A and B are shown apart, each in its own frame.
Chain A
Amino acid sequence: MAKHDEGVVTVGRSRIGTFFANTTGIVFGLVMIFPVYWVLNTAFKPDSEVRSFTPTFFPNEFTLDNFKSALGEELFIPSMINGLIITAMAVACALVVGFLAALAIARFSFYGRKAIILVILAVQLVPFLALLIPLFLMLQGANLTNSLVGVALVYLVLLLPYTVWTLRGFISGIPRELDEAAMIDGCTRPQVFWRIILPLTGPGLVATSVYGFIQAWNEFIIINTLNNPQKQNLMAWLLYNQTERGTAWGPLMAGAIITSIPVVVFFLIIQRNIATGLTAGAVKG
């Protein structure tokens, strides 16, 4: 079916095919976006309109009351601060620990290297919920339940496999000749790591920190199990709040939007590089 019109090669260029492809794209795109749109739609409606049995596709009466009432909730701001502290601790530690571990795995060959790689991968394969009971016990024993540090520690462990694996991919992509050249010029090994490998791993560090941020910020099962209501993050607060007060959909959706803002902002900043970051670990052997 290849045609040559004016020297342009076209692949399977049937009008019907193109029409079909575009239609599928639009329909599916709508299905993907509609629930998100519905959240926005609900958040800006007054309560009476939310509960109405005739759905409106745009708020008849535009209101910010839902946001006010969500922000005014007793534990909203504290939960947000808790979440930020936990996330910052977990992501920062994951970057430092993960970078060093990735360096060791990517740049040195040593006994047990394969075993470490295998364990890193295997851990990701088992649903984490199975570990909730023993983790709770351990942290209780160490007096770290109901504390931000305890949760951050668990998140750190959760983030490490992906962080190590992705950074390993990035570091492997840096030619060893660069290290050697620098060492001939008189760099010590720590200097090579610090002044050559670290800057070149920059995009990998951005990608893993974004991933880590999203994971830690959005987690709610572990924190909900380990901590009492005063020490929740925003996500757990949102759910807790929902079950406590029945379903006040407007404020709930407003809360959901506020909770998502940091992640969406992060995503928009690095949107272009997201595919590279996500797949770096997988593509580079």
Chain B
Amino acid sequence: MRHGKYPFIIGFLAVPVALYAIFVVGAYLQMFRLSLTDWSGYGAFKDVGFDNFVKLWNDEVVWTALRHNGYLLLLLPIVTIAIALLFAFLLNVGGGSKGGMTRGVWGSKVYRVVFFFPQLLALALVAVIFQRVYGPDKSGMINGLLPDSWEPWLFLADENWALTCILIVLIWQAVGFYVVLFSAGMGSIGQEIYEAAALDGATRITLFFKITLPLLWGNVQVAWIYLGIAAFDAFALVNIMTVNQGGPNNSTQVLSMQIYLNAFKYSQAGYASAIGVVLFFLALSFAWLTLRVTRRDNATA
């Protein structure tokens, strides 16, 4: 069996490894390289050492963007996972049990499809739809539903609330996927565990915290990382939905938007690459930290 496996391995992996070497590793190397230049996006450039990073350190807009990414990073995973867990639980166990089988709330099959729906819509469409939902006059969906005597809410045009509006859309879009993911995880938890707990007199809440959550910890960990990465990105929504791409007055500015603007609007591709480098290290350290921290929690639990 052993001899002659290398031709297969090499043959099977040559193409993907080559693609990665060029389009991923190569691209990152080039990004690192460009971050040390004053390249505008066209023509020649010269090396400027770490000037871009010094400039970045002193750039107030970048710090604002970073703060907004931090806000999303804090709230997006927590809220999404909480809602998704609650609903996965309701869909699977929430209806109580009959004949020893736990079951979901009434209509759980319908919910499964409904929750997954936003996942099918492209982020671009989600953004367009929510522009309509957030319409700042009476023809907007939410404002249209409010009583006539109320002043229309500004939503995305309001500096204080614009970023939260974006956060809500991110949650709306993500929740369905994690409901399905957690549901699958809950489905693989043995019925007899719930039965035993039921005989011991466990309530729904006890079931959730003492059985479901600990057994789903791995899934939650994965969800946390993916949602964190989504919070680092957030480009699509900010780009399409917000006033002036990151406005009003930079109140929805995020790092990915800064990369885009610097590279393709302000002709500062070198500087944009430097922001890209920062984003790269932030995202990787976030993933690494999450794995470290949650693993330790796991060990003590």
Contacts and interface: CB of A to CB of B under 8 A. Distances in A.
Given A138-B23, A225-B264, A11 B5 contact: no
A164 B16 contact: yes
A208 to B, nearest CB: 14
Contacts of B198: 2, 9-12
Contacts of B141: 34-35, 38, 55
Nearest to A249: B132
Interface string B113-148: 111111011111100111111000111010011000
B9 interface: yes
Nearest to B199: A2
B64 interface: no
A8 to B, nearest CB: 6
Interface string A2-44: 1000001111111001100110111011011111101100100
5 contacts: A17-B204, A52-B139, A127-B256, A138-B23, A275-B180
Contacts of A279: 181, 184-185
B87 interface: yes
Interface string B16-29: 11011011101110
Interface of A is mostly: helix
Interface of B: 1, 4-6, 8-9, 11-13, 15-17, 19-20, 22-24, 26-28, 30-31, 34, 41, 83, 86-87, 90-91, 93-100, 102, 105-108, 110-111, 113-118, 120-125, 128-133, 137-139, 141, 144-145, 172, 175-177, 180-181, 183-185, 187-188, 194-195, 197-207, 218-219, 222, 225, 229, 232-233, 235-236, 239-240, 256, 259-260, 263-264, 269, 272-273, 276-277, 279-280, 283-284, 287
A54 B144 contact: yes
B105 to A, nearest CB: 5
Interface of B is mostly: helix
A127 B233 contact: yes
A133 B13 contact: no
B180 A278 contact: yes
A101 B204 CA distance: 44
Given A11-B203, A12-B207, A256-B128, 4 more contacts: A12-B205, A38-B141, A123-B20, A131-B31
B181 A130 contact: no
Contact of A12 (B87, B99, B204): B204
Contacts of B206: 12
Contact of A235 (B12, B98, B124, B204): B124
A155 to B, nearest CB: 11
Contacts of B99: 8-9
A103 B195 CA distance: 40
Contacts of A28: 83, 87
Contacts of A50: 139
A10 B98 contact: yes
A129 B256 contact: yes
Contacts of B277: 130
Contacts of A275: 180-181, 183-184, 187
A24 B90 contact: yes
Contacts of B122: 217-220, 235, 259-260, 263
Given A17-B204, A35-B130, A134-B34, A11 B97 contact: yes
B131 to A, nearest CB: 8
Contact of B22 (A12, A34, A124, A138): A138
Given A38-B133, A127-B279, A129-B259, A12 B138 contact: no
